[in-house]
Structure 1
């Protein structure tokens, strides 16, 4: 498919007669809300599982869990989080080369639902591994393609893009709020498998809403932008079989186990990311201007991985922290530990639309008066520094268990941090994307989350092995240094195409 055809299809998403007209200043495309809905329910399912996953693995059989060690639970949770996002480049490649993105999203949602049903109905380690494997495959098919379709809703350039991604990200946060509330409650009252069943129901609702609104997504989502040749298809099949064979050998020989699984996941993430960057930089379908943008994305990729390492400790470090270090009693009521993460999400839901509105207001200002994208990302790390700084001083202020109100304050700052940084990161990935690698560029951004999820597992293990103050102080210093680095390279990145 030619670049002109792709551009025309993108325009058709907003202008049915395919004429080039000025974009409205305020209204967002209807397709944004279709994608908002499927992402909301997918995140409902994903986060609903994520907040109880570590507990399910290390709680005793008498408490409904699998009875593994806490270290194994954190390693598995980190590996699963990394693997979920590691599957996204595969789903993005399929959408760019073999199957239309619109179809990939529908198929991915169905596979995710199957994974949650497996967790709900199949007992023991077998049910855990089958369920997590299906969710990993399904999320890889769904997530990068919904993210890429949001970007294609807008003509280039569009002052509404950042605001659109902020609205879309609010859907993520709504799902991330109600998923844990539902599964956390069901886990305490009825058992883990009822929580997993609720996640399956959420994904089913998302599939129905997406099917009903499927014709509002960008027109180009119905076509394959860069079809692969027949020899290329056979190479891809051969590569897939080889990967499965290697995994089978590692598992059967005992070289890969629950204890070291996260090592393999992180190593694979780094290799895939490097391969993607090399492929885009060497591709004949990438122009010289696009190649400069890909180079500009490299430092943003690295800092993005650091950001997600911090945030995704919600499901590793902070899962253990909530279970062991926080006074969860409110009078006679004892709050489920899984609810701690919801305060982070509530803050994001409240602040996210305000940031979107402010971003739309900034878009109407002269260019020189609008903060650069890199400066916005650096500010996100300043807030992250404040977040971990608070948790570093809590043990110095309070003796014994940490009061719930103090932890909620820390979670609120973290929630504001996430909605300040994450939508801008998604937007810049779309902005710097080569035309022939649109979905795959979003998958590359997804690999920052993959690396962060995997590293968060290692951070959870580190938290359990050193003093609490030392751990959170280390996270504070890393966040501050990253903010300083981003701010120092803002001018250089502007020259390479980062607005």
Structure 2
């Protein structure tokens, strides 16, 4: 029964026509560049959001309190990972994934344009709402398309998701540099002694990036993707299954695999709660407590958010090659839960480095002992990045492999739901840095991440048996 229910990926026929199994299909690189420009849009806007919210109105910002600003940031980034659950459900049943990606891209471009065109709280909420809705259509479907390019047991799958993940981070690397430079430097002016920032031009650059990505995807989609993603997964499944089989409930093994996805989703919530401090508490800490002066120039605060994608660009090829080498060795690759547990421990180690900086600076901006060296932030992001590479692309690959085909986009949305909860939790944790202090909050996040990572290592064998 289980074998009868297994559906071959939509891209199998294309894969069989490939002359070499060693090369990745060209569709991977189209999705790579589509995601690159979408992430340019997202991370360009995200790098500026907290600064935009906390900067005074007369200086081009909106003048929110820091605790309010990081809460808004947390809810915005959180709901960007909640709506994929709805978008995944719709594409599993009613619309093709490629149509959903296009709808999402257009709506997100409009969201960034609203932030550019309307400098007010009304413009802020409209822009964020459009970005949240558009992300719901885009996010779960492009990741699922990557999985459909490969057969179920293709050993290149983990490597492909790591390459795809590198595309995400090429966009994420350039976004803070370009958008941050426009907002904090190029369009920065001084009028009557008041510094004014050009945040809206950073949002405009994010809008243009989204448009470029959609043009590439729609102009080259038929050539490099064929028929993959043109119809909904539900429609495709019905065509390949008889009427009675299409309504057959999930097998025991499919239920176990679905349970593993849910269990690991719960674990990684705390990883993302700590990781996403980058755009909230870490941004504010860097702005106020870190010596950013180098070579006669103050490094824009938003630029530090390019460290994570820069490290991913440098390290992703090595990690990808490591997974391939291990999978071809006699001992075999590391278990997926093991990789993810190590990723959580590495996140915690990054916070241990950050605690050393806080012990030098203190947590009170009115009585800073001394400003921290930029290297503390650099090494914090380094450990966070290695942890992310052990956890996130592996998780995307896992969902694409384990999810029953009828619920592939829905379960990808469930996986992304962990980031929804995590960002809201992370926003609340960041708001407490103003009352409890940075040392206490960073300690809590760091030790909890390492503790949960150890637990995940201990139950790795059990989860792996459920996955097989």
Q: Which residue of 2 aligns with 1:246?
A: none
Say whether 1:431 aligns with 2:389: no
The range that moved more, 392-401 or 403-412, is 392-401
Which residue of the other structure, out of 273, 290, 295, is the alignment partner of 1:309? 273
TM-score, normalised by the number of residues in structure 2 = 0.89
> Which whole-Å CA distance do the structure 1 matches of 2:323 and 2:23 have between them?
14
Contact 2:262 2:415 in 1 (8 A): no
Q: Which residue of 1 aligns with 2:428?
A: 458
Say whether 1:211 aligns with 2:181: no
Aligned residues: 437
Structure 1 residue 100: Cα displacement? 0.5
- List alignment gaps of at least 5 residues for structure 2: 188-197, 237-246, 362-368
Q: Which residue of 2 aligns with 1:234?
A: none
TM-score, normalised by the number of residues in structure 1 = 0.84
User: Structure 1 104/285 Cα, relative in aligned 2: closer, same or farther at 3 Å?
Assistant: farther
1:273-288 matches, cutoff 5 A: 284-288=248-252
> Which whole-Å CA distance do the structure 2 matches of 1:467 and 1:111 have between them?
38
Could you list the per-position Cα deviations for residues 155-180 of structure 1 after superposition, in whole angstroms to 9, with x for gaps in the alignment?
01110110000000001111111111
Contact 1:304 1:425 in 2 (8 A): no
Contact 1:380 1:417 in 2 (8 A): yes
Structure 1 residue 5: Cα displacement? 9.7
Q: Which residue of 2 aligns with 1:342?
A: 306
Q: CA RMSD in A?
A: 2.0
Say whether 1:45 aligns with 2:46: no
Say whether 1:357 aligns with 2:321: yes
Structure 1 residue 357: Cα displacement? 1.4
1:192-271 matches, cutoff 5 A: 192-215=199-222, 216-217=224-225, 219-227=227-235
Structure 1 residue 105: Cα displacement? 0.7
- List alignment gaps of at least 5 residues for structure 1: 229-282
Structure 1 residue 30: Cα displacement? 1.0
User: Structure 1 121/306 Cα, relative in aligned 2: closer, same or farther at 3 Å?
Assistant: same
Structure 1 residue 115: Cα displacement? 0.8
Contact 1:317 1:456 in 2 (8 A): no
> Which whole-Å CA distance do the structure 1 matches of 2:218 and 2:231 have between them?
17
Which residue of the other structure, out of 320, 334, 342, is the alignment partner of 1:379? 342
Say whether 1:402 aligns with 2:383: no
Which residue of the other structure, out of 114, 121, 136, is the alignment partner of 1:118? 114
Contact 2:68 2:431 in 1 (8 A): no
> Which whole-Å CA distance do the structure 2 matches of 1:284 and 1:48 have between them?
45
Contact 2:258 2:402 in 1 (8 A): yes
Could you list the per-position Cα deviations for residues 327-357 of structure 1 after superposition, in whole angstroms to 9, with x for gaps in the alignment?
1111320111111111122111100111011
User: Structure 1 303/218 Cα, relative in aligned 2: closer, same or farther at 3 Å?
Assistant: farther
> Which whole-Å CA distance do the structure 1 matches of 2:305 and 2:457 have between them?
29
> Which whole-Å CA distance do the structure 1 matches of 2:217 and 2:378 have between them?
34
Structure 1 residue 382: Cα displacement? 1.9
Contact 1:12 1:218 in 2 (8 A): no
Contact 1:119 1:193 in 2 (8 A): yes
> Which whole-Å CA distance do the structure 1 matches of 2:411 and 2:235 have between them?
17
Structure 1 residue 463: Cα displacement? 1.9
> Which whole-Å CA distance do the structure 1 matches of 2:120 and 2:12 have between them?
50
> Which whole-Å CA distance do the structure 2 matches of 1:342 and 1:351 have between them?
14
1:436-451 matches, cutoff 5 A: 436-451=406-421
> Which whole-Å CA distance do the structure 1 matches of 2:122 and 2:96 have between them?
33
Q: Which residue of 1 aligns with 2:259?
A: 295
> Which whole-Å CA distance do the structure 1 matches of 2:447 and 2:43 have between them?
28
Q: Secondary structure at 1:223's aligned position in 2?
A: coil
Say whether 1:417 aligns with 2:387: yes
Q: Which residue of 2 aligns with 1:167?
A: 163
Q: Secondary structure at 1:402's aligned position in 2?
A: coil
> Which whole-Å CA distance do the structure 2 matches of 1:209 and 1:119 have between them?
24
1:318-329 matches, cutoff 5 A: 318-329=282-293
Could you list the per-position Cα deviations for residues 345-383 of structure 1 after superposition, in whole angstroms to 9, with x for gaps in the alignment?
2111100111011112222123x4321111111111121
Structure 1 residue 217: Cα displacement? 2.6
Contact 1:149 1:217 in 2 (8 A): no
Runs of 4+ in 1 over 4 A off after TM superposition: 2-6
Say whether 1:480 aligns with 2:441: no
